[in-house]
Structure 1
Amino acid sequence: MRISKLALLTLATLATFTVPFTSPATAAAFSGEISVRDQVHIAQDGTVTLSGTYRCSGASPLRGVFVSSSLVQDGTQLGFGGTDAVCDGVEHAWESSGPVNPLGDVDLGFHAGRAQVDAHLMTLEASGGWLPLPHALAGGRESVDLVDHRAH
């Protein structure tokens, strides 16, 4: 039986890019906690900074863990990029910041007063497909005081 060069090349390409999946570490093997500082400040230049501490251990060396955070007020939610977490059982500080109005002239309406911060320790896990999806390992929503230093 003769295999065409194209079929052989296709099989070789698939074999090259096929990576066996290993089972991700279960949440039971992971222990973690995250906290949020009770005050969030919007600086004069419009930068908002969320911060707090976290502690985690037991993460699989095959996957990374990161801190995900967002500011929520009056039905508006603003997310910030993830910060890498070190899961060595020691308490670490985390901080995420960015513009409170990332769309420029469009004011999202954040103001001084009560707000919430969603903060989670996250990982990416493949669940039945090729594309890894975010998975929360620990965290939740905490109430904070939002202090606005912008001149209005």
Structure 2
Amino acid sequence: MNIDILQQQVDIIIASNNSKEEKLQAICDYLEKEISYYDWVGFYFKNGDKNELKLAQYTGEETEHTIIPFGKGICGQVAISNENFVVQDVSEQDNYISCGWKVKSEIVIPIFVNNENIGQIDIDSHTPNTFTNKDEQLLEYICKKVAEILH
């Protein structure tokens, strides 16, 4: 994974004249295409004043998890903890919402606007033990860039 090239392409997407929604979709599509073990890429955002997340743009298999209560699953836990969550083997998680039998690992990184957790990027992989510090660095960078267009 060449983080510099991936970040440069994300910068180009963010700088485009497309709508926020189109930019988020382009990021999902780009990451899923460029990183072989990113099998599902999506954004969840806080659903108004409710203590739940709502699925926004994504690429990959359809999911029935369009609303996730805070505290439920990996995404819901990140909504409360405000911290990155890397799960190398989803079968070892008690509080896991399965999006499909193929998913073996997951990484979720929160997005902050004005120090408030407003959403997250969620990546599922069909490969166990696949995420590294490079994935965290790349996704943290993307979340900072996404925060800039959302505030």
TM-score by length of 1: 0.29
Structure holding more strand per residue: 1
Greater Cα radius of gyration, structure 1 or 2: 1
Structure with the bigger RCO (C-alpha within 8 Å, sep 6+) is 1
TM-score by length of 2: 0.29
